[in-house]
């Protein structure tokens, strides 16, 4: 099976799992080493011959089987990517297992397609572009390998451990290679989003700086991105604990509201919104996340988003009448006053006041600064409180904070008291 097919079926494999273990029902076990059984190639490093999440002796065993003809070639078996699986690959994987310094060949997403890349291993000094990429590196405990950043406004609470780092720009398009050259940077880390996938950095290659693109918005691809970063940053144990957390949330979705678990007549319907008034279409990661959380998303257009402006009646058609509207907005981890709540609500809800979901109190602003598995947990608790419990989102969020956000965990951050992560109409005071 080719690499693209392996990644395409990953979500099916996860949602079809039995998920009987308690840790899967609750979002991760939190004890002992985690050994995932996933074999869809989430560790997108050439040399990962058996397609699991680890680079170890099992890959050598698989290589021997492939070379002897006892097993078919796997997507990442050709460790040196020369077109042949042979003894040279065995020798290279032996070095990889020893974690020797070398150039690693890996795959990354570019505009939704798997692309081959090369990166000097290990990454110990990086320039990170955008908060999504920073959040992924924070989650694996790799902050010490961030030398400089290019990002706009910071959430000073979430990124209190980053704000003092040198800045070389405000986003992917404004990166100053001249500024970056002042620092010891071996790799630039950025997200594979429609915007960032178009960014080119011709000065990077000349300076010997590798470009590493990862996904952090798609529920499944983001796990692969974190596991791959974990290997490249030598933060594998922490990255695999994060994978356990993600697998746990997705496993709970599969067990409780996955295919065949409840009837379509019992499922809620939903629409998702991003930015100010952009409604997510079938190709959007927000659309996919709502479906993983058990909703029937009734969007029927293929583009990522479609704008709905006041006075534009298209969304008021009967076919778009949904039980819930989930509006994903980045509102940060700072505390909110009543005035902050009212201002945020007034800025975004005004576009949807004519919708039945709004009138029924089911238009909800969800804090998009949270990682996607946490947002899925919140949606599940919103859609099906009788199945998950109304506090399921808070519980998974707190587990994420305590396990993967070192700066917030150290400060005793409490998601129920110190921030606002969803806003409902009944929270707004007149």
Identical fold for domains 17-246 and 262-427, yes or no, is yes
pLDDT band, residue 18 (cuts 50/70/90): very low
Confidence of residue 26 (pLDDT cuts 50, 70, 90): very low
pLDDT on residue 104:
96
pLDDT at 6 over 80: no
Report residue 114's pLDDT band, with 50, 70 and 90 as the boundaries: confident
Q: What is the pLDDT of residues 43-76, one digit of tens each?
A: 999 999 999 999 999 999 999 999 999 999 999 9
Going from N- to C-terminal start, the domains of the chain cover 17-246, 262-427
pLDDT per residue over 389-405, tens digit each?
A: 999 999 999 999 999 99
CA dihedral 222, 169, 280, 326 (to 10 degrees): 80
Q: Cα–Cα distance between 150 and 170 in angstroms, integer?
A: 5
Is the CATH number of domain 17-246 1.10.443.10? no
Q: How much is the pLDDT for 353?
A: 94
Provide the pLDDT for residue 193.
67
pLDDT tens-digit profile of 314-358? 999 999 999 999 999 999 999 999 999 999 999 999 999 999 999
For residue range 208-243, list pLDDT tens digits in order. 999 999 887 788 889 999 999 999 999 999 999 999
State CA 19 to chain mean position distance: 21
Whether the predicted model's global pTM rises above the 0.75 cut: yes
Query: What is the rounded CA–CA span in Å between residue 157 and residue 150?
Result: 18
Pick from 222, 262, 213: nearest CA to 245: 222
pLDDT at 8 (0 to 100): 36
| 306 pLDDT tier (thresholds 50, 70, 90) | very high
Residues above pLDDT 70, as percent of the chain? 91
pLDDT tens digit sequence for 126-182 = 999 999 999 999 999 999 999 999 998 889 999 999 999 999 998 878 899 999 999
Q: What superfamily would CATH give domain 262-427?
A: Nitrogenase molybdenum iron protein domain (3.40.50.1980)
pLDDT tier, 19 (very low <50, low <70, confident <90, very high otherwise): very low
Per-residue pLDDT, averaged over 238-257, amounts to 97
């Amino acid at each position: 099976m080719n690499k693209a097919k392996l990644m395409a079926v990953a979500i099916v494999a996860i949602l079809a799992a039995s998920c009987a273990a308690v840790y899967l029902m609750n979002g991760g076990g939190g004890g002992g080493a985690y050994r995932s059984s996933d074999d869809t190639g989430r560790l997108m490093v050439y040399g990962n011959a058996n397609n699991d999440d680890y680079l170890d002796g099992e890959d050598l065993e698989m290589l021997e089987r492939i070379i002897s003809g006892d097993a078919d070639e796997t997507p990442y078996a050709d460790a040196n990517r020369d077109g042949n699986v042979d003894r040279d690959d065995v020798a290279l994987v032996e070095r990889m297992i020893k974690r020797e310094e070398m150039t690693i060949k890996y795959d990354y997403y570019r505009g939704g397609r798997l692309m081959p890349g090369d990166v000097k291993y290990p990454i110990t000094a990086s320039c990170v572009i955008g908060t999504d990429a920073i959040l992924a590196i924070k989650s694996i405990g790799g902050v010490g390998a961030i030398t400089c950043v290019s990002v706009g406004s910071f959430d000073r609470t979430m990124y209190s451990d980053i704000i003092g780092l040198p800045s070389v720009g405000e986003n992917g398009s404004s990166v100053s290679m001249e500024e970056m050259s002042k620092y010891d940077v071996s790799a630039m880390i950025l997200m594979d989003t429609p915007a960032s996938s178009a960014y080119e950095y011709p000065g990077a290659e000349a300076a010997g700086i590798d470009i590493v693109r990862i996904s952090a918005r798609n529920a499944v691809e983001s796990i692969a991105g974190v596991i791959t970063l974990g290997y490249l940053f030598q933060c594998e144990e922490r990255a695999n604990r994060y994978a356990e957390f993600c697998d746990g949330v997705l496993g709970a979705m599969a067990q409780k509201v996955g295919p065949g678990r409840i009837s379509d007549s019992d499922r809620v319907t939903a629409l998702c919104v991003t930015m100010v008034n952009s409604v997510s279409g079938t190709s959007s990661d927000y659309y996919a996340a709502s479906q993983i959380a058990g909703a029937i998303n009734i969007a029927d257009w293929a583009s990522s988003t479609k704008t709905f402006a006041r006075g534009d009646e298209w969304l008021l058609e009967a076919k778009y009448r949904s039980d819930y509207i989930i509006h994903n907005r980045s509102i940060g981890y700072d505390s909110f006053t009543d005035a902050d709540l009212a201002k945020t609500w007034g800025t975004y809800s005004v576009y949807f006041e004519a919708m039945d979901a709004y009138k029924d109190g089911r238009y909800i602003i969800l804090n998009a600064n949270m990682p996607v598995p946490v947002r899925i947990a919140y949606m599940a608790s919103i859609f099906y409180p009788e199945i998950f419990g109304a506090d399921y989102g808070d519980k998974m969020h707190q587990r994420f904070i305590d396990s993967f956000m070192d700066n917030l965990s150290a400060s005793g951050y409490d998601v129920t008291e110190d921030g606002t992560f969803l806003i409902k109409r009944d929270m707004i005071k007149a």
